[in-house]
Amino acid sequence: MTPAAQHSPELRAAARHFDRRRFLTVTGAAAALAFATNLPAAGAAAAAPLDAARITENPFTLGVASGDPLPASVLLWTRLAPKPYEPDSGLPAERVAVHWELAHDESFRRIVRRGTATAHPEFHHTVHVEVGYLDPGRVYYYRFRTGTWISETGRTRTAPGRGDKGGTASGLSFAAVSCQAYSDGYYTPYRHLAQDDVDIVFHLGDYLYEYAVNSVGGNRKYTDRTLPDVFNRETVTLEDYRLRYALFKSDPDLRAAHAAHPFVVTWDDHETENNYADDIPENSVPPEEFLLRRAAAYRAYWENQPLRTPQKPSGPDMRLYRRFHWGRLAQFDILDTRQYRSNQAYGDGWQVPGPESADPSRTMTGTTQERWLLNGWAKSDAVWNVVPQQVTFSQRRNSTSDTYKVSMDSWDGYSASRERLLAGADAAGIENLMVLTGDVHNGYAYDLKRDFDDRSSRTVGTELVATSVSSGGNGSDKPANWDTYMTANPHMRFYNGRRGYVTVALGRTSARVDFKTVPYVTTTGAGISTAASFAVEAGRPGLTPA
């Protein structure tokens, strides 16, 4: 793309249209073969399934998971991988029958549903089972079996209904997590989260990192094993991304958290490539080459996450934004701020805001997703409207002087897009807006201001930023810029640089927020503590120390 196109919204849009059309015409055949039609042919005679007796090693090495709970339905996931660090996972390119069970109890004496799913080699022997006709607001247990092998038991639940039976749900507890660079440390926060009494976990992005992982696991510094060379390269191909998910999901603490709680996931950038924007990569490669990489990343993401059929990608496109309700207590609008955004202003990074970053034509969400969100708010009857998304929404100045910089990758670099959402929330009469954020490897709590440039502006909601699980290493309670940030941003009510997660208990009249942190992740065994707690009163936005 020429420099002129990079700085003109109209030319950028035209270039994106041309690039997408070029992708579909020049490389469409290869992309379709690799990512879209790599499925059993319709009407073709199916090959004989694999005799499960031939599976001589445990195929459930990557655990089980559930996600996207609805009032009458749960989504169950697993992947067969006897040898997860090999490209074929230790299985031939044949279909495998996988039996599943859902029960009221851990001992599986009261079976509710059971069935058989097919693990297709085209989807890397992953299984997505959508189990319906369930009771709302109820805990269930599940497991998988193939041959003589039985998976670990997972625990999941349905959401309360919105009608008379479950619509008056009086409480909900959830956790928010993000950013789990395998090379930066162990997933100790997940070990504690697996034991927490929460109803659901929101993963806000950077589940995967594309960077190379060396033979000792980076800062993990394994002394008891050596990782194969297949991980010591950046992920680009479908095989690369699939193998990287196998590495990350091999962590026992992550597997424990997935087995303990249903997850609702959304991506950020590293699941594909750092700081990409729509079809514009961080690095200078031909557009069609990046779209092939994006198609590979999106395909592997869907395969390895507890996602439903509507989220299945088509080539380099995947609709990840979606909406859930928890009775009439909460509406969750999960956003995708990567796939449709305008390119970062001023070449990305931390820059002084100006006309380019404030350009009204710039978008973080794309027009369609933005309209979907605003329309959803207009129709909402929930007490709390929660928006799980990726990057910092509130203004975050890096200096107390009149000349300051902000991150062009966050909503500060898309200020008009942020203003449209704040105006839309106002117009919809949203009283209890709560934004959930990841990305920045720090825990933050913000009062959302109607106008961030006016310090006397009214508070209209809350933003909770979940620190990383491991990214950034051990961190510190008080980073070097703590005083500057807290002074430059008076709406910032909390700032902590340790690893961990945030939990929220929503009630009909108030919410409690707990920032939980561990002192270290570069070695195992760290305990967990609560770094800060806040309360939010329904109808009176703003954080109060609890």
Kindly write down the DSSP assignment for every residue of 41-59, as one continuous string.
PTTPPPPPPP-GGG--S-S
Amino acid 37: pLDDT: 37
Kindly state the helix (H) or strand (E) to which residue 19 belongs, with its residue range.
helix 9-26
Amino acid 47: pLDDT: 52
CB 73 within 8 A of CB 132: yes
Q: How many CB atoms lie within 10 A of CB 505?
A: 17
Secondary structure (3-state) at 288: helix
Cα 53 to the chain's mean position, in Å? Answer: 36
What are the angstrom distances between the C-alpha of 153 and each of 102, 257, 265, 303, 428? 10, 12, 21, 20, 43
How far apart are the C-alpha atoms of 188 and 524, rounded to whole Å?
Answer: 7
CB 475 within 8 A of CB 522: no
Residue 276 burial by CB count (10 A; 0-12/13-18/19+): exposed, middle or buried? Answer: buried
According to DSSP, the β-strands at 433-437 and 384-388 are parallel
Amino acid 42: pLDDT: 41
> Which of 57-61's residues contact partners 24+ apart within 8 Å by CB, and which partners?
57/82, 57/83, 57/90, 58/82, 58/149, 59/90, 59/91, 59/96, 59/125, 59/146, 59/149, 60/144, 60/149, 60/150, 60/151, 60/152, 61/250
144 bridge partner residues: 100
Secondary structure (3-state) at 514: strand
How far apart are the C-alpha atoms of 362 and 346, rounded to whole Å?
Answer: 13
CB 388 within 8 A of CB 176: yes
How far apart are the C-alpha atoms of 38 and 24, rounded to whole Å?
Answer: 16
Kindly state the helix (H) or strand (E) to which residue 406 belongs, with its residue range.
strand 406-407
Amino acid 44: pLDDT: 37
How far apart are the C-alpha atoms of 2 and 457, rounded to whole Å?
Answer: 41
Length of the chain: 546
Maximum Cα–Cα distance across the chain: 70
Amino acid 169: pLDDT: 74
Q: Which of 88, 124, 110 is nearest to 230 (CA)?
A: 88
Kindly state the helix (H) or strand (E) to which residue 173 belongs, with its residue range.
strand 171-177
Structure tokens at 203: 């993963």
How far apart are the C-alpha atoms of 455 and 467, rounded to whole Å?
Answer: 26
Amino acid 170: pLDDT: 81
Outline where DSSP puts E strands in 29-157: 64-70, 73-79, 96-103, 111-119, 126-131, 139-146, 149-150, 154-157
Amino acid 199: pLDDT: 98
Conformation bin of residue 255: beta by default, left when phi > 0, alpha when psi is -120 to 50: alpha
Walk along the chain (546 residues) and give the pLDDT tens digit of each residue.
Answer: 433 333 344 334 434 444 454 444 444 434 443 444 355 444 334 556 888 778 999 999 999 999 999 999 999 999 999 999 999 999 999 999 999 999 999 999 999 999 999 999 999 999 999 999 999 999 999 999 999 999 999 999 999 998 744 445 789 999 999 999 999 999 999 999 999 999 999 999 999 999 999 999 999 999 999 999 999 999 999 999 999 999 999 999 999 999 999 999 999 999 999 999 999 999 888 889 999 999 999 999 999 999 999 999 999 999 999 999 999 999 999 999 999 999 999 999 999 999 999 999 999 999 999 999 999 999 999 999 999 999 999 999 999 999 999 999 999 999 999 999 999 999 999 999 999 999 999 999 999 999 999 989 999 999 999 999 999 999 999 999 999 999 999 999 999 999 999 999 999 999 999 999 999 999 999 999 999 999 999 999 999 999
Q: Which of 191, 246, 234 is nearest to 209 (CA)?
A: 234
Burial 149-182 (b: 16+ CB within 10 A, else e): bebebbbbbbbbbbeeebbebeebbbbbbbbbbb
Torsion of CA 284, 287, 290, 294, to 10 degrees: 140
Q: Concatenated DSSP letters for 425-476? A: HHHHT--SEEEEE-SSSSEEEEEEES-TT-TTPPEEEEEEE---SSTTTT--
CB 190 within 8 A of CB 254: yes
DSSP state of 151: P
Amino acid 48: pLDDT: 65
What are the angstrom distances between the C-alpha of 519 and each of 185, 455, 503? 12, 34, 18
Amino acid 12: pLDDT: 44
Structure tokens at 210: 């594309």
The pTM (predicted TM-score) of the whole model is 0.93
